Structure formats: structure tokens, C-alpha cells
Amino acid sequence: MNILADFKANLKKPSFYIAVCSCLLALVSLILYLAMGKTQYNSQKLATIIIVMLIIGMVLLIASCVLDIRFLRYGAAVAFLYAFLEYVITEVNFWSNWIIATDPVEASVLTQYFVITIIMLVATVLAFVTALMTKKQYYRAQVKEVA
């Protein structure tokens, strides 16, 4: 297995660039969550599971860019999906407060929640797209047909 040759071959595929975009969006959402995630709606706490799943997803996605293994990309997509769903669940107080409108929500807090939510969702969707575009699987040996 020649990793450098696989990486050079991956540079020619659109799924590589979609994976890079997904990884960058996940990194941005992680940075935003770490910087602005503590509010009165979540008791001034960050959820470690969100941080861990975003990091795991980014590591798997970077590894899949080098090795071009579909299941690594699916693993990254599932990790991003889990982080997104955990984010929505941990911020349920904010969402219910905003939907029911019991207390006024500051525009900056509303923007912060929507930006983080949208970026995490787009990173998740792009990770699933790149996993679907990847053809190579880890358990199949590439066999050259002899004519």
C-alpha cells in the first residue's frame, strides 16, 4: 500500500476537496463553540461530547483524505452528525425559549446559535457527500484484470 501514491491520486478527485471543506467547517464550528458556547441557556457549560466528536470526525476525515477509505469518511460523517445532534439537544433550552418566546433573545445570541448550527450541519452533509463519492473500500483488494 503506497500512501503517497494514494494521496496524489486523491488530489485529483472532487471528493478530496469536499472532505477538506467539511473538515474546515467542522474546525470553524469547533472554534466558535469553544469561544461562544457558554451562555445562560446551557448553564455556562460546554459539552465535552460535542468537542470530542468534532475532533474525532476531523481526524477520521483527514486520515480518509490520505488513505481514501470510504468507512473512515462515513465514520467522520457519523461523528459530525452526533456532534450536531448533541449540540441541538444540549441547547434545547435556547431553542424552546426562542420558539415559545418566553424571554427575549438577544440578536447576537440568536446569530451565534444559528451560525454554529448551520456550520455543523453543512460540515455533516459534506462529510456524507464525500463518503458517498468515495469508491474504494478497505476490504476489497484492487485486482487488475488480465486479458
Answer whether 34's CB lies under 8 Å from 100's CB: no
In this predicted model, what pLDDT tens digit does every residue of 22-81 receive, in sequence order? Answer: 999 999 999 999 988 777 666 677 888 999 999 999 999 998 888 777 788 899 999 999
Q: Against a cut of 0.75, is the pTM above it?
A: yes
pLDDT value at residue 11: 72
**Distances 79 to 6, 41, 115 between C-alpha atoms, Å:** 24, 24, 19
CB 123 within 8 A of CB 26: yes
Three cell numbers written together for 68: 481514501
Residue ranges of alpha helices (H) inside the chain are: 3-10, 14-36, 48-67, 70-90, 92-100, 107-133
Give residue 122's pLDDT.
95
Q: What is the pLDDT of residues 85-94, one digit of tens each?
A: 999 888 777 7
> Highest mean pLDDT range out of 74-78, 132-136, 141-145?
74-78
Distance, CA of 137 to CA of 108 (rounded, Å): 44
Report d(CA 133, CA 3) in Å as an integer.
20
pLDDT > 90 in the chain, percent: 33
Exposure class string for 31-41: b at 16+ Cβ within 10 A, else e: eebeeebebeb
Determine contact, residues 97/103, Cβ cutoff 8 Å: yes
Residue 127 has pLDDT above 50, yes or no: yes
The predicted structure's pLDDT at residue 59: 94
- % of the chain residues with pLDDT over 70: 80
- 70-79, 106-115, 117-126, 137-146: least confidently modelled range: 137-146
Residue in 134, 127, 112 with CA at minimum distance from that of residue 23: 127
- Give the pLDDT of residue 139: 47
